[in-house]
């Protein structure tokens, strides 16, 4: 039996790193890509094939995919779009260029890689495109407008792509985690400091009392937080199921919010989410 292959992005830490190890342990040939060359080198030292893919750099996307296909002889069973970051801050304090930047990394690059891999999967007669979305792709929380908006956009694009590819052998799947142990909070700090002039904001006191404490100090895991392996478990289900689900929820908050979004009036749901 031919070993199946998967290209995973954002493998330097967190969900991507665990997915790379978990899929390899399950017998898959894993191409564990990272944005930074030094992270690729570290993963190569761990025995992975690790092409560099930076979602903000079209050349790196196309070259990284080309190197993957060269290694496999031109086939690829699955791609897991995963790499993303956050810019904490109120929407009114987000410069539009901050949104342009985060959409390049969290949305446009995913679209480029997905478009590039579709002809490969169509030609080989099978394939799966898996998107790591979030509970914040279908409900919102304050101070997360930049991240929320990229995930909402991703959900809309992915749902459309799934419908459009119904007449092909390609399956398209959303994986929607809630709180997962990762470095996303720490990694968001440089973006916050670069883009958000919080001291000049009319919400400066709210930043000081709420966001700054959460951003710069860790009180331990969030309630209901799960390790990244919880996402890997759902990823493995999604790539091996004969007929995968369109969506896989991960963590209790995702299940709760999925239910509340269906049954509650918008204003009532807003009141619940505003406490976050």
DSSP 4: P
User: Phi/psi at 29 (nearest 5 deg)?
Assistant: -85, 115
Tell me the C-alpha distance between 150 and 102, whole Å. 8
Q: In this structure, what is the dihedral angle of CA atoms 116, 114, 144, 19, given to the nearest 10 degrees?
A: -110
Angle, CA 11 vertex, CA 227 and CA 251 arms, to 5°: 25
Tell me the C-alpha distance between 246 and 168, whole Å. 15
Q: Catalytic: which of 147, 207, 248, 249?
A: 147
Q: Which of 161, 272, 144, 112 is nearest to 211 (CA)?
A: 144
Angle, CA 233 vertex, CA 67 and CA 77 arms, to 5°: 30
Q: In this structure, what is the dihedral angle of CA atoms 81, 85, 89, 93, given to the nearest 10 degrees?
A: -80
Tokens 């079209």 map to which residue?
58
Q: What is the DSSP secondary-structure string of 9-63?
A: S-TTSHHHHHHHHHHHHTT-EEEE-BSSHHHHHHHHHTT-B--B--TT-HHHHHH
Contacts with 139 (C-beta within 8 Å, 6 or more apart), sequence order: 257, 260, 261, 269, 273
55 classed as catalytic: no
Q: Annotated catalytic sites, by residue?
A: 147
């Amino acid at each position: 039996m031919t070993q199946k292959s998967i290209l995973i992005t954002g493998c330097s830490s967190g969900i991507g790193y665990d997915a790379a190890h978990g899929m390899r342990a399950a017998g898959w040939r894993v191409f564990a890509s990272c944005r930074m060359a030094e992270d690729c080198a570290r993963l190569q030292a761990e025995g992975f094939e690790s092409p560099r893919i930076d979602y903000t750099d079209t050349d790196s996307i196309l070259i990284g995919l080309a190197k993957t296909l060269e290694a496999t002889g031109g086939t690829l069973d699955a791609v897991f779009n995963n790499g993303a970051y956050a810019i904490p801050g109120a929407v009114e304090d987000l410069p539009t260029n901050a949104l342009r930047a985060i959409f390049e990394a969290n949305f446009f690059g995913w679209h480029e890689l997905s478009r590039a891999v579709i002809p490969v999967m169509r030609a080989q007669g099978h394939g799966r495109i898996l998107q790591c979305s979030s509970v914040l792709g279908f409900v919102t929380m304050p101070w997360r407008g930049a991240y929320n908006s990229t995930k909402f956009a991703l959900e809309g694009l992915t749902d459309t792509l799934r419908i459009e590819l119904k007449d092909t052998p390609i399956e398209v799947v959303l994986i929607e985690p809630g709180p997962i142990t990762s470095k996303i909070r720490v990694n968001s700090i440089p973006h916050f400091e670069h883009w958000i002039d919080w001291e000049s904001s009319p919400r400066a006191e709210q930043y000081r009392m709420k966001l700054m404490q959460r951003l710069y100090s860790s009180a331990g895991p969030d309630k209901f937080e799960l390790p990244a392996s919880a996402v890997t478990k759902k990823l493995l289900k999604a790539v091996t199921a004969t007929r995968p689900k369109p969506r896989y929820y991960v963590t209790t908050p995702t299940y709760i919010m999925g239910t509340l979004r269906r049954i509650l009036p918008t204003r009532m749901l807003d009141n619940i989410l505003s406490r976050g």
